[in-house]
Amino acid sequence: MRNLYIVTHPEATHHVENIVGGWHDSALTPRGVKDAGRIAATLGDLLSGSLPDGDGGTLLISSDLRRTRQTAETISDRLGLEITFDPDLREPLL
């Protein structure tokens, strides 16, 4: 059995500027950067001792938008995982 953890990016500039996110490539705010660190720390605690040693069993997949890249990179730094960036994880254009 595998566990799936879904993380949304924390506060980004489009939130505080009242812009609809979607494909708008906003960055994390300073608050969002701090929150991404907290998310990474929490995941690190949850997964402590359960991350495989280089067997590729744990995946970190992210949209390619800046705010999600920043969040994934923070998690990657904390957990030592490589990131797969997938543009198909963006919201669909209507």
DSSP notation for the chain: -----------BHHHHTT---TT--PPBPHHHHHHHHHHHHHHHHHHTTTS-SSSS-S-EEE-SSHHHHHHHHHHHHHHT--EEE-GGGSPPP-
Known active-site residue 91? yes
- Catalytic residue (one of 9, 17, 73, 82): 9
Known active-site residue 82? no
What is the set of active-site residues?
Answer: 9, 91
